[in-house]
A and B are shown apart, each in its own frame.
Chain A
Amino acid sequence: MPAIGTGRIKAKPADTLELRLSRTLGPVLTLVYDLVRVGTPAVSIDRVQWNDDDFVRSTPIVEVLDKTGAAGRYKINLIPVLMPPNTDLRIEVWKNGTVVYGRNLLAGPVDFHSISITRT
């Protein structure tokens, strides 16, 4: 699957944003989704944690980013912990039904994954 976009997404208040997550070739041991309002200090406004059972029930997992409705800057932080060696997590952000961001994360050393959203 191709890499799409830079991960800095601009959207108007009326735009619908969705985060879509799917995995293949192995299990997701755990995946934290954290929606953060940018500031000093930053404020976490929504957090969900999934595991492979959740992917079994629904693939892709779709999280509507409606808590980013107000104007401002937000960060989607994802912490995927994937089973080596083959698990492949696909992360997509859809704006009004179109993919504006896409990345495949392969199992490896654990790291955070961050996407910026600016509502203007």
Chain B
Amino acid sequence: MKAISALIMLLPGSAFAADYLCGNSELSQLAARELAKSTIAQVIEADTEAAAPAAPKTNQSTAPAAAGGTSAVDSPERPRWVSLAIEQGLAKENDLGGVTISISPFDWLLASAPDGHFDDNGNFVATRDLRRLTGSLTVGNRGVALDSDGDGVAEDPADAKSLDDSLLLDIQYRFYGSRERRDIVVDRRYLERQQDLALAANRLADQAAGLVGDDEFDTAIGIQLETDAPPITEPECKAAAKVVATSLQHRVDLKNRAVGLQALRASTSSSVDELVKKVDGSLVMSVGISMLDRKEYLGPDRVGVTLRGVKGFPDTSDPTAGESLVFNLGYFSQEALAEGSKRMRGALLGVEFVDELNASMRFGQGRWAVSLVAEKNWEAPANAKKSQALLGLRYEVPVSDSITVPFSLKWSNRNELLQDESEVVGHVGFSINFDSLLARDGP
């Protein structure tokens, strides 16, 4: 029997090896819970089984143009360094027919480092300041709708004839805050909470020592799990834990310790959840510059600066849910295409409220968002409006573990701002994005 069990363990992908291996610790943990269950602690035990919170979807962590499409199709027209960036996974074709290349220093470092180098948290945290700077260079983007013949009707946006006909440089520097959980160990804002966790872990150690270090408890575990025994299955492990707990029913002191242990586990886990919420909801702010240089047939050149921020409001009752507010404040100056006209200047305000729904949906977490982008222009050409506004409503539905389908509904006072929408009726645009369904992982 031992030989068969050992053989099963060695088989790759076997249920034993992959899913469960009951050892001293696992059996001790289960026995401690069984012992606690036999008293008043069933409720506490149930509380500690909550799943670990998932990392939140991040906002504003990279420069805007870096958020592009998913295609990685190569082309013989591209310069070699663009092809190199694509090979390294640092460039992607975007929805405007161009190619967005990351110029974030950390992305290039990650691509050139040996496999697993940044798995070590020390190596990762050492790049903390480097990760503040992100950026992208986008080449070959489609232009904007222009009324080039002056008939008062804008033509369809022109595609770039060559990649270098349109160059967009986006650089962003995160000057305040971070939502990177791995950086927490070097962030003094969370030091006090980490010290509280250290004290809680010490109390847990005291409680565990008195329970699993007890002679009778250890003997009861040893009877069920011999030193050189083959691994036992999950049902066998649970049954063994019940036998251990039953044999210790006369030890009131151990039962009390087991109850105390479960309570400490629950409270320490809650403290970790609180810490995570604090990190995920923290204020992050960055400043970005954007420079667009393109041929006249694609539209005017433009330069701008933007202040971006995000603040989270985690749900106190559900670690997987919460809201966040993203805001942008921008100023830009745009080249005048018509002779005799002045450069157009503009100020931009963007606000988006995102609500993460709880994870009770079939495949995972959905979210909805409402956004408002308003722009006020000065020195605008005579046929252009002096202001524009875009109000958007988005709902992202998870249809599988890794696929989310976004629905969006937008209203704008200027229909050219709705050019990316699938359907436009009046001033309202509607679209469903199935890109994630069609996306494929690389080889």
Q: Which of the residues B184, B213, B269 comes within 8 Å of A77, measured between beta carbons? A: B213
Task: List B contacts of A36 (CB < 8 A).
Answer: 209, 212-213
A39-B213 in contact given A55-B121, A84-B272 (Cβ < 8 Å): yes
Q: Nearest CB to that of B32 among chain A residues?
A: A112
Contact indicator B201/A114 (Cβ below 8 Å): no
Interface residues as binary, A87-111 with B (CB distance below 8 Å gives 1, 0 otherwise)? 1000000000000010100111111
Q: How far is the CA of A113 from the CA of B205 in the complex (A)?
A: 10
Size category, A interface: 35 or more
Q: How far is the CA of A92 from the CA of B50 in the complex (A)?
A: 27
Contact indicator B17/A30 (Cβ below 8 Å): no
Contact indicator A79/B185 (Cβ below 8 Å): no
Between B119, B121, B122, B198, the greatest number of chain A beta carbons within 10 A of the residue's beta carbon is seen for B121
Q: Which of the residues B52, B221, B225 comes within 8 Å of A107, measured between beta carbons? A: B52
Task: List A contacts of B201 (CB < 8 A).
Answer: 30-32, 49, 79, 81, 110
Is B94 part of the binding interface, using a Cβ–Cβ cutoff of 8 Å?
A: no
Is A9 part of the binding interface, using a Cβ–Cβ cutoff of 8 Å?
A: yes
Q: How far is the CA of A81 from the CA of B218 in the complex (A)?
A: 24
B276 to chain A, nearest CB (A): 6
Contact indicator A109/B52 (Cβ below 8 Å): yes
B240 to chain A, nearest CB (A): 12
Chain B residues with a Cβ under 8 A of chain A: 17, 21, 23-25, 28-29, 32, 48-55, 116, 119-122, 125, 181-182, 184-185, 194, 197-198, 200-202, 204-206, 208-210, 212-216, 218, 221-222, 225-229, 231, 261, 265, 268-269, 272, 275-276
Chain A residues with a Cβ under 8 A of chain B: 2-3, 5-10, 23-32, 34, 36-44, 47, 49, 51-53, 55-56, 59, 73, 75, 77, 79, 81, 83-87, 101, 103, 106-116, 118
8 A-B pairs in the complex with CB atoms less than 8 angstroms apart: A27-B125, A30-B198, A30-B201, A41-B214, A83-B181, A84-B53, A109-B269, A114-B28
